[in-house]
Amino acid sequence: MAAGIPTHDAIVIGAGFSGMYMLKALRDKLGLRARVYEAGETVGGTWYWNRYPGARCDSDSYIYCFTWDKQLLQEWEWSERYPEQPEILRYLEHVAERHDLKRDIQFNTRVTGAEFDESNNLWCVHTDKGESATARYLIAAVGSLSDTNLPQFKGLEKFQGKWCHTSRLPSGGIDFTAKRVAVVGTGATAVQAIPEIAQQAKELTVFQRTPNYCVPARNGKVAPQLVKARKADYDGVIKRIRESFFGFEYDFIPKPVLETTPEEREREFDRMWDEGGFAFWLANYQDMFFNQEANDLCADYIKRKIRKTVKDPIVAEKLIPKGHPYGTKRQPLDSNYYETFNKDNVLLVDANTDGPIEEITAKGIRAGGKKYEFDIIIFATGFDAMTGPLKALNLKGRDGRRLREVWADGPHTYLGISIAGFPNLFTITGPQSPSVLSNMPVSIEQHVEWIADCIEMMSKTGKTTIEATPKAQEQWGSHVNEIVNGTLMPRANSWYMSANIAGKPRAFLPYLGPEGVGGYRRKCDEVAAEGYAGFTLA
Ligand code: NAP
């Protein structure tokens, strides 16, 4: 490459939902030379990597898709309310083919580092294939939950059976038939995987550290009339989800639960429970997120459901959450999760009552002084969320400052999309944006469109760098924290609070704005309308 002349206009890292749309926008809308690097062998991102049994989307399929391809919205037929992982992957493959995206994506290539070259105002990007490329803009489309967390269990190297993290299953899957299987973890992934594995395995032992509040998914076929009605009103659907709080067609109940009668709230709880999905979590009484007493009323309803479903009262008590308010951890959706613990071949080992995992042995796991033998161990132990995938890129900004160091005490961003000292770098659904607290495609599309508009503005106005000011970044960080500190969210040791990774500084990772994704979108649009307030343009 000639000095100062970039090999590309923009480099995108990742070819999941966000990288695919970013490529489409850069190349086909703005006419730029864009290159995407993707570590996987095809498109899909999270839907390529997470192929554990039972993996499916927890958002309704009609809104878990791209809304920019209006024709495809009409043509594509989802088979169920929540699409399974292979179906989402098929959908994304179809989009890639339909828009000829793959020709600009280099697969099986992991970005290992990138630094900002201040003399030429370019990003220089390096890959594990030994290549380097340069571009004016660098866009991280690396996903929020892509950096696998495999805790350092003592003795893992001695285990003689098979083991695997849920986000790294081999492409053909794992045959659990007639096997003694352990699942470590009881988050949203495990809650999906456990019922499926229990059906195949000879014995399944679940190692639970913290029980979760699960609510029914109620997956199934969607009535053809409803599919038709939604298709006929897609413009309305899109408008509503974009302006909503969480990117779904949900609204909070406009009344505090503390002002309801027992009969009234029981009716509402029953209604949301029967509706299934995130209704109970995201369309409940709003004071549930702010007031412990209000929260207890919602939590109590779920506790009663658990006691009713799980036949063995001792197992039921183990499955009942005790230490955190309802809704402060990611809501797992249950398809026969609690029922699975009624099966004769399923055992629950609870860290609090039975003792924590002490070590992995040659034959299995020792927990609470007791030895358990397994053929397969599945670690459903989650991810170094949001900051992990960005830190893993080994980014160096101005003055060679490393993102790892700049974020040593937690994320610092402006709007979750830009980082002071890292010019022309954009982070799609980055930390301190609504991201994982929303229906992801809604937030992805909003960021991609905002970034594309920004780049278009840059080229029209002849600017070469855009960069968040430290002041705007600091104010945004204070705003993010002030809001979350007014809620019950900090009371949970959740991955939202960075609490799932040993040594990770406690910080709230997404943004829970007072008006949700709708308000956040308006804020980003205002920033742009005010000439990119809070940014320095040069
Ligand atoms: P997770 O929510 O972080 O759960 C990890 C589980 O592993 C937790 O039960 C955790 O216990 C346990 N764990 C972690 N380290 C451990 C250790 N050292 N010893 C024992 N147990 C340990 O991860 P996840 O279930 O993979 O879910 C991550 C996120 O992925 C979800 O929250 C969701 O946003 C996303 N997801 C999405 C979908 C979907 O929509 N399709 C499906 C699944 C997941 P503690 O709770 O005590 O930390």
Structure confidence by residue, pLDDT tens digits, 220-277? 999 999 999 999 999 999 999 999 999 999 999 999 999 999 999 999 999 999 999 9
Q: Is the CB of 335 under 6 A from ligand 1?
A: no
Q: Is the CB of 145 under 6 A from ligand 1?
A: yes
Tokens of 275: 């509706």
The CA–CA distances, whole Å, from 125 to 21, 110, 138, 250, 481 equal: 21, 10, 9, 41, 33
Q: Tell me, what's the pLDDT at 3?
A: 62
| Residue whose CA is at the smallest distance from ligand 1 atom 14 | 381
Q: In this structure, which long-range contacts are made by residues 120-123, counting pairs with CB atoms below 8 Å and at least 24 apart in sequence?
A: 120/3, 120/4, 120/6, 121/423, 121/424, 121/464, 121/465, 122/4, 122/6, 123/11, 123/424, 123/425
Q: Is the CB of 147 under 6 A from ligand 1?
A: no
- Residue keyed to tokens 């459903």: 380
Site to probe by mutation for ligand 1, drawn from 210, 381, 440, 491 as the one with most ligand atoms within 8 Å of Cβ, is 381
Radius of gyration of the chain (CA): 23
The CA–CA distances, whole Å, from 538 to 60, 462, 465, 468 equal: 43, 9, 5, 12
| Rounded-to-integer distance, Cα 286 and Cα 224, Å | 32
| Rounded-to-integer distance, Cα 382 and Cα 186, Å | 10
Q: How far is the CA of 493 from the centre of ligand 1 (A)?
A: 12
Structure confidence by residue, pLDDT tens digits, 64-83? 999 999 999 999 999 999 99
Handedness of CA 453, 456, 461, 464 (dihedral sign): positive
How many other C-beta atoms lie within 10 A of the C-beta of residue 271?
A: 13
pLDDT less than 50: residues of the chain: none
Tally of residues, the chain: 538
Q: How far is the CA of 381 from the centre of ligand 1 (A)?
A: 5
Structure confidence by residue, pLDDT tens digits, 88-126? 999 999 999 999 999 999 999 999 999 999 999 999 999
Q: Tell me, what's the pLDDT at 421?
A: 98
Q: Tell me, what's the pLDDT at 410?
A: 98
| Rounded-to-integer distance, Cα 13 and Cα 23, Å | 10
| Residue whose CA is at the smallest distance from ligand 1 atom 18 | 151
Q: Tell me how far apart the terminal alpha carbons of the chain are, to the nearest angstrom.
A: 24
User: Counting atoms of ligand 1 from 1, which one is nearest the CA of 166?
Assistant: 26
Site to probe by mutation for ligand 1, drawn from 500, 501, 504, 509 as the one with most ligand atoms within 8 Å of Cβ, is 500
Q: Is the CB of 151 under 6 A from ligand 1?
A: yes
Q: How far is the CA of 189 from the centre of ligand 1 (A)?
A: 6
User: Counting atoms of ligand 1 from 1, which one is nearest the CA of 190?
Assistant: 25
Q: Is the CB of 184 under 6 A from ligand 1?
A: yes
DSSP designation for 383 = B
Structure confidence by residue, pLDDT tens digits, 163-188? 999 999 999 999 999 999 999 999 99
The CA–CA distances, whole Å, from 232 to 64, 194, 223, 300 equal: 17, 37, 14, 40
SS (H, E, C) 209-237: CCCCCCEECCCCCCCHHHHHHHHHCHHHH
Q: How far is the CA of 463 from the centre of ligand 1 (A)?
A: 43
Q: Tell me, what's the pLDDT at 442?
A: 98
Query: CB–CB of 18/141 below 8 Å?
Result: yes
